[in-house]
Amino acid sequence: MLESKAVLTRTRSRIPGPIAAILFLLMPLEARAQISLSSAEDLAEKNSPSVHGAVANVQRAAAALAEIKDAYIPNFVVGLGPGYSYGFPLGYPSLFNASSQSLVLSWSQRDYIRAARAAVNAANLSLKDAQQQVALDVALDYVELDHDLREIAALEEENGYAVSLVQIEQERVQAGVDAHLTQLQAELTAAQVEEKRIQLENDAEAMRQKIAHLTGLPANGLTTVSNSIPSPPAVDAMAGSEERSAPDNPGVSAAFANRSEE
């Protein structure tokens, strides 16, 4: 042991300080990112292509409404044309000319403005629906990952007890106190605990990949904050939610707004 330490000390002494610092920075470190539920939802909305598309639709609808309203604003055209005039009808030479054009009265233009406002309303509702859908997707994956991590922690503790039980049963069987069948049952229990833990780790890794895809964060070592998950609503608060879900749903409201454009 002393010899290995001396060799390690001699090896370190041969490496200059700056090079050793660079090698330390290049060493692979285990990255563990802990993120709360609200932060995951914000990152998912900023990283979602559907939300970006909905924002672009809102901007397009707002620009179309502004363009229709600008039809009532007069536009002026000023030109310069020195020289003599010719052709029919005959006129006087002109140095410059100016003209103005504006929409004064149009019954259909008000319908166009009303339809454009409905399109803006529908685009805003579609944006809200896309944001809620993204938040729902990342929340479901987040809650499942948190559940898997807590189950894995509990199974690791249970696995320690199962291994200790196997060792105890081995000693009791060797001492002739218990039958060999008892040891096999303890080993089977430990194997079942280990199998369940491996399954949960695979499921947790799948949830990490989904959250990483939604938020843009690295999936390696991604952990949750259990305190950031709100408690489920009470049973009384959920009563009658089916009747209120349809009018309060932004997707349904957007469909009604699109229908009103026609």
Band (111; pLDDT cuts 50, 70, 90): confident
User: What is the DSSP secondary structure assignment for residue 84, as one 8-state letter?
Assistant: -
Band (28; pLDDT cuts 50, 70, 90): very low
| Residue 176 zone, left/alpha/beta (φ > 0; ψ -120 to 50; rest) | left
pLDDT for residue 70 is more than 60: yes
Average pLDDT over residues 211-224: 90
pLDDT of residue 87: 56
Helices (H), ranges, the chain? 2-14, 17-26, 37-47, 49-69, 107-174, 180-215, 235-238, 241-248, 250-261
Q: What percent of the chain has pLDDT over 90?
A: 28
**Which of 97-101, 136-140, 172-176 is the most confident on average?**
136-140
Higher pLDDT pick, 146 / 18: 146
Mean pLDDT of the chain: 76
pLDDT for residue 229 is more than 70: yes
Band (208; pLDDT cuts 50, 70, 90): very high
Measure CA of the first residue to CA of the last residue in the chain; give whole Å: 85
Angle (nearest 5°) at CA 10 between 4 and 15:
130
User: What is the DSSP secondary structure assignment for residue 76, as one 8-state letter?
Assistant: E
pLDDT for residue 181 is more than 80: yes
Band (10; pLDDT cuts 50, 70, 90): very low
Average pLDDT over residues 189-201: 90
Q: Which range, of 7-21, 222-236, 245-259, averages the lowest pLDDT? A: 7-21
Band (23; pLDDT cuts 50, 70, 90): very low
Higher pLDDT pick, 33 / 218: 218
What are the backbone dihedrals phi and psi of residue 58, each rounded to the nearest 5 degrees, phi first? -65, -45
